[in-house]
Each structure stands twice: as C-alpha cells, then as structure tokens.
C-alpha cells in the first residue's frame, strides 16, 4: 500500500519487500479517520483484548536479588481449566518481560531499571535460551519500551541470542525526546501513571531518591532526572546518564534483523525529520524502517478482528525472516539445528 521500506540494499531487503508487499495486513481494513492520530492512539488504549488473555507469571531473580517477571500466555481458557499449559498461537510461544516494579512485579531492591540499561533483559534472555535451547527467540517492543530492546541489541551484538526483533513506534533519540517534552495531553496522563506506580514503593525508594521531589515532578524529564541522576548514593549528570542509556549508542554493533514500524504522524515521537535516524537505516544491513503515513503512536488501527494491523505485519516479518534463513541454509549447505 502506501507503506515505504527504507533500508540498505541487500538480499534480505529484497526478500522483505516481496514478502511484505504480499501481506494482507498492509493493504486492507483501514481506519475510518486516518488523519486523526490522537484518536487512533486513544482508541487503541481504550480497547481491551477480546478475549482477555490469561497468563502464568514466573519471577526471575537477578544477581543483585532484584526481580523481573515473565508472563507466559496460558490462553483465554486458562482460568477455566487450562491446567497451566503454555499456549502456542500460530506456532509462537509468547512471553512478556516486565521490568522491576512494573505491572505488579515486586520491587525487592531500591533500584529501578534506567531507560536504556539492558542488564535485566539480558538475564531474562539467557534464562529463556536455557529453557528453550532449540527455539528461535524473537523480540517485539512498543513505544518507549523499544529503547530497552534497541540498547540490548547494540550492546550484545552477535551475542544477543535473538534471531530477529521488531519495534513498534520506537523512541530512537531518547534524550531529545525527554528534553523536547510531549504535548500535555499525552505527558500528564503518563506522568500521573508513573507517579502512581512509584508511590507504591515510596518507603524503599526513599533510601536512594528524594520522594517529595520525585512525586512533585512536573515533566517526564524532571521525573527521570530525579529518579536516576539526583540519587543519594551515586549522583550523576544528565549528560553522563544519556551516554550510558541512549538507545542507539551501540547501534552499529547490532547483528540481527530489526524491523522498526513507524508512523509519519506519530504525535508522541515527534516530527519524522527530527526523530527518525534515516541514516542508520540507509547504512546498516540489519535495520529496516517500515514507514506508514498514518497510525499514530502504537495505534495502527483497522476495522475488523485483530484491530492493530501492525501486529499482523510483525508476524509476517518474522515469517519472512524464517523463510530467508531456511533458503540461505539450503543454498550454503549448512546443517539445520535440531
């Protein structure tokens, strides 16, 4: 359709153009009001999955005694006798990574995860590889959560243990995003949501941060700076913080295919000219930008079942990557892994 794929020419790029060009997800069932990105995002946020998925939570203890949570999809039948069996829709076994203190994950240490610190995610991926040693691990992220995945891919390089990754509406230049700020319509609800979550751990976090200043923050930048830069034990500057946490700081080291699905009218990420690192997609053989004119931020709505067409596009992308790898193995005569 009107989507464009921006990437460095390669055999994989040609294969993705052919595969995604045939994808029904990129062609049919468009949103009735494509020029209203704010409405698209709000519509997606207010729509609950049907039926709501049932998950089985597993807590993973980290080297510093902190905890992250892994939510395995059990299926919509789980509450009615699913027996704890892990669901496998379309051949995938979905598992959700929850950061320390997020989405009901207990905070057992007075430490939260900085914006682009992939240490906890690395531990989770290592665990998943041990649990499923012969499976192909694939990663998907949305919105600001893509900063963590992009940082992990760059810092891990060829040791990421992933076969492919995808980012929906990613925030590429995080420092610029925090400094520019979002329109109040988006920033204030998100700020309130974050404060509500942090207030649950006020007692533990009071050891390391000024909770009065934290809960009195009037912008996302002020909250991030108070939480991670103005700490009682190891204060650091805003500049030094982003030297360690900018998502694309090691992007040149990424060694697996990464599809970034972005909308030109994303009101949260900002104008494409300033917020999209086009040169990265032109120079790296591993980064692919699928740019659509409309879709808002993590919206991409459509009529009918499967209301977010971006999710279908990501599945088509993963299938295309698997087909390409199988073709390359046959061409080179490489033995298939068990």
Catalytic residue IDs: 266, 297
3-state secondary structure of 101: coil
Respond yes or no on whether the N-terminal peptide bond of residue 51 is cis (omega within 30° of 0). Answer: yes
Name the strands in the sheet holding 95-98, side by side, starting at the edge strand that comes first in the sequence.
Answer: 55-61, 67-73, 95-98
Distance CA 78, CA 55 (A): 8
Distance CA 255, CA 253 (A): 6
The residue with tokens 């049932």 is 54
3-state secondary structure of 154: helix
What residues contact 243, with CB distance under 8 A and at least 6 apart? Answer: 249
Using N-to-C axis directions, what is the helix angle for 220-228 and 238-245, rounded to 10°?
Answer: 90
Distance CA 192, CA 174 (A): 20
Helices (H), the chain: 11-21, 37-46, 119-131, 146-156, 174-180, 184-199, 202-205, 211-215, 220-228, 238-245, 272-275, 278-283, 309-332
Question: With contact defined as beta carbons under 8 Å apart, do 298 and 314 qualify?
Answer: no
Question: With contact defined as beta carbons under 8 Å apart, do 98 and 69 qualify?
Answer: yes
Token pair for residue 127? 């665990």
């Amino acid at each position: 359709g009107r989507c464009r794929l921006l990437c460095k020419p390669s055999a994989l790029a040609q294969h993705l153009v052919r595969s995604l060009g045939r994808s029904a997800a990129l062609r049919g069932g468009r949103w009735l009001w494509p020029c209203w990105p704010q409405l698209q995002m709000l519509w997606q946020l207010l729509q609950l999955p049907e039926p709501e998925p049932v998950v089985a939570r597993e807590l993973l203890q980290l080297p510093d005694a902190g905890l992250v949570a892994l939510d395995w999809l059990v299926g919509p039948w789980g509450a009615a006798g699913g027996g704890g069996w892990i669901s496998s829709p379309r051949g995938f076994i979905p598992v959700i990574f929850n950061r320390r203190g997020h989405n009901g994950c207990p905070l057992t240490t007075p430490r939260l995860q900085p914006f682009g610190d992939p240490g906890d995610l690395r531990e989770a991926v290592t665990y998943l590889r041990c649990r499923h040693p012969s499976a192909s691990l694939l990663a998907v992220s949305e919105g600001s959560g893509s900063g963590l995945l992009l940082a992990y891919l760059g810092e891990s390089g060829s040791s990421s243990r992933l076969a492919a990754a995808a980012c929906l509406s990613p925030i590429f230049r995080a420092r610029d995003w925090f400094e520019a700020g979002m329109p109040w319509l988006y920033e204030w609800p998100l700020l309130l949501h974050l404060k509500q979550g942090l207030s649950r751990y006020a007692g533990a976090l009071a050891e390391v941060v000024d909770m009065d200043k934290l809960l009195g923050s009037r912008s996302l930048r002020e909250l991030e700076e108070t939480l991670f830069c103005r700490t009682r034990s190891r204060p650091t500057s805003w500049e030094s913080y982003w030297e360690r946490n900018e998502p694309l700081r090691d992007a040149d080291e990424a060694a697996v295919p990464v599809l970034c699905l972005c909308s030109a009218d994303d009101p949260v990420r900002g104008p494409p000219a300033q917020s999209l690192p086009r040169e990265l997609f032109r120079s790296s053989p591993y980064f692919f930008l699928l740019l659509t004119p409309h879709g808002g931020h993590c919206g991409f709505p459509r009529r009918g079942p499967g209301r977010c067409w971006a999710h279908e596009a990501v599945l088509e992308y993963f299938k295309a990557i698997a087909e390409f790898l199988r073709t390359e193995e046959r061409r080179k005569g490489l033995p298939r892994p068990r």
